[in-house]
Amino acid sequence: MRTLIIGDVVGKPGRKAVQQLLPSLRVDYLLDFVVCNGENAAHGAGITPETAQELISAGVDVITTGNHVWAQKEIIPHLNGPLPILRPLNYPPGAPGRGFIITEKAIVINLMGRTFIGNYDCPFRGIDQLLPQLTERHLPIIVDFHAEATSEKIAMGRYLDGRVSAVLGTHTHVATTDLTILPMGTAYMTDIGMVGPIDSIIGNDVESVINGFLTRLPHRITVAKGRTGLSAVLVEIDETTLKSTRVERVYREVD
């Protein structure tokens, strides 16, 4: 099984890049399944039903999110609906939406870290409670771990090694160089990177971000423009053992 996991999509430039590139990527790599983090898809923060549908129409099978999932309030009623959108599993009980989805081809789980990012329920204990419920489903399990600290992400990868097919990090928008298959067969990368403007600061306008650091004054951050890069990871999974057998970083650029 060939799965593509796409990093954080930033605003309209990111959505356009997915729309332009994903159809050909599905053909070129003979993809069976596509996961995409869409928590910044709408104006750089949050996701709406319309922006989610743009990604789905482009060929995305499941959309994951993170700490910005609530930024666009109109998405909240849809989180319990038919759209294949996840919010992190380790939000407290009673939060709208779901933290995992079972499809015909794979199970996708969305987790969120706590170090430097927020006070949520424990992601380690949360997935420990979930995994026994999935043992009868002989399907690859793909985890999007949306977290800030590299140590927390690496810890999760090692913790789940051999228990899931892949643990791929999102949130920082900066791709790391540690793509690997861990000893027990779990594909791992600390951060996939983003789908966003290259001439930017993690997808946002350079001048506005620097001005914020210099002045510390409240200011509006806008999504940058220009040439856009798409960062993703290709994972090949043995459908008998559910172990990852090959990983490859995928990177493309569009105007």
What are the structure tokens assigned to 60, written together?
Answer: 């995305």
Active-site residue list? 68
Rounded CA separation 27/24 (Å): 5
Nearest CA-CA partner of 243 in 142, 133, 128, 134: 142
Overall number of domains in the chain: 1
Domain that holds residue 213: 2-254
pTM: 0.97
What are the structure tokens assigned to 73, written together?
Answer: 């309030």
Rounded CA separation 139/134 (Å): 9
Q: What is the pLDDT of residue 174?
A: 98
Neighbours of 45 (CB within 10 A): 18
Q: Is the dihedral of CA 38, 42, 44, 45 positive or negative?
A: negative
| Contact of 87 with 78, CB cutoff 8 Å | no
pLDDT by residue for the chain (255 residues), tens only, comes to 999 999 999 999 999 999 999 999 999 999 999 999 999 999 999 999 999 999 999 999 999 999 999 999 999 999 999 999 999 999 999 999 999 999 999 999 999 999 999 999 999 999 999 999 998 999 999 999 999 999 999 999 999 999 999 999 999 999 999 999 999 999 999 999 999 999 999 999 999 999 999 999 988 889 999 999 999 999 999 999 999 999 999 999 999
Whichever domain contains 126, its CATH number is 3.60.21.10
Q: What is the pLDDT of residue 219?
A: 81
Neighbours of 248 (CB within 10 A): 12
